[in-house]
Structure 1
């Protein structure tokens, strides 16, 4: 009889193994055998828990996306804006295995409809969260514009840092630039209000 709670533990082990394998060999090279071997399980367990490789890949991407959600929302709109930046540049999002997995995911999402939908959800959620906070500090039209710009800065800086082969100081510097941009926008808006 299986132990209670083991399914969730095994599912997470398979997700962690998938992220590591994708980082090593890419999405196309990540076979069920490589993933199950990395997780220390039989290859049949992937079908049992996920139904197949594609569902496991999607679950792994959803896991990474879940780490970008605001667990607890800071009281102030500025605090929320800064927390969003922090989440996108967290240690997990900087980890070599995660950066490589994200890069593979973004590239493959151009050819795979289910991964494309996940990317669209991620993009819309980021802009929506930023817009929500900016809207509390400025008119809706301006807030929407600043949300789009800030999201592009987050994605662009993260991509540049990831492609520079994991360099923690570059990620920290990028995070600082984005936060400085947000502060400058808010300061400039309050001066001209």
Structure 2
């Protein structure tokens, strides 16, 4: 009997292989031949699941965001306002091995956006989804009196999401200048002017943020981190 193949499972395996290659070797290393070799299959096997490399790369790009969004949703579950916001940012920012790899992948894809219509259509969709979610959490933080009523959620959400994208670029281009402590500090500095008296930002991050270690050679001003 012919061997039955789970179509969706095989597509997922191909995307996983593509993610590994892009994180390790960049987009230039994610050729159809290299992906087939990574999977241990014939060169033509991938064509049964993706019509061409552009379709595969678009699916891979969407998968990166789907994984990030899934983890962020899990982090924020049962939380609201400031707690939900910081839990979400913990997963969006390149603070650990997983999120740094994701930063490498998305930055590689951004370089292709100017010439790839399919990818160019995906980035605004993801950016807008993140911004809407962050804005909703900021509105809740104002309702909860953690942030000042004078704070403007829409532009503040844009600033926070833009900062996330900037940190993803820095994690790739200047990794030793972008430690977890500095990312946390930048977010806190953005929110600090709008924080109500008595609200501590430092104590509202998920517990594991404090356990994230900076590379030893990172020149971070520790006095700022405990202000």
The TM-score, its normalising length taken from structure 2, stands at: 0.70
Partner of 1:143: 153
What is aligned with 2:137? 133
Correspondence 1:152 to 2:158: no
Question: Do the aligned partners of residues 185 and 64 (structure 1) sit closer, same or farther apart at CA in structure 2, a change above 3 Å counting?
Answer: farther
Query: 1:189/1:111 Cα in 2 relative to 1: closer, same or farther (>3 Å)?
Result: farther
CA distance in 1, matches of 2:28, 2:178: 29
Q: Which structure has more helix as a fraction of its residues?
A: 1
Q: Cα deviation per residue 1:109-150 (whole Å; 9 max; x = unaligned)?
A: 122111011111121111111111112233698000110111
Equivalent residue for 1:10? Answer: 10
**Structure 1 residues 152-180: Cα deviation after superposition (integer angstroms, max 9, x where no partner):** 21111221122124x5x934124312442
Is the contact made by 2:167 and 2:178 (CA closer than 8 Å) also made in structure 1?
A: no
1:94 maps to 100
- Count of aligned pairs between the two proteins: 186
Segments of structure 1 that go 5 or more residues without pairing to the other structure are: none
Counterpart of 1:71 in structure 2 is 73
Q: In 2, are the aligned partners of 1:23 and 1:101 still within 8 Å (CA)?
A: yes
Number of the residue aligned with 2:174: 164
CA separation of 1:12 and 1:64: change in aligned 2, threshold 3 A: same
For 1:49-64, list aligned pairs within 5 A. 49-64=49-64
State the alpha-carbon separation in 2 of the partners of residues 134 and 11 from structure 1. Answer: 37
Given the alignment of the two structures, is residue 115 of structure 1 paired with residue 115 of structure 2, yes or no?
Answer: no
Residue 41 of structure 2 aligns with which residue?
41
Structure 1-normalised TM-score? 0.81
Moved more, 155-164 or 138-147: 138-147
**Structure 1 residues 22, 161: closer, same or farther in 2, change over 3 A?**
closer
> d(CA) in 2 for partners of 1:110 and 1:30?
19
Cα distance in 1, alignment partners of residues 150 and 120 from structure 2: 28
Check whether the contact 2:104–2:168 (CA below 8 A) recurs between aligned residues: no
Q: Displacement of 1:28 after TM fit?
A: 4.6
1:173 matched residue in structure 2: 181
The match for 2:195 is: 187
When residues 176 and 38 of structure 1 are mapped into structure 2, their CA distance, relative to the original with a 3 A threshold, is same
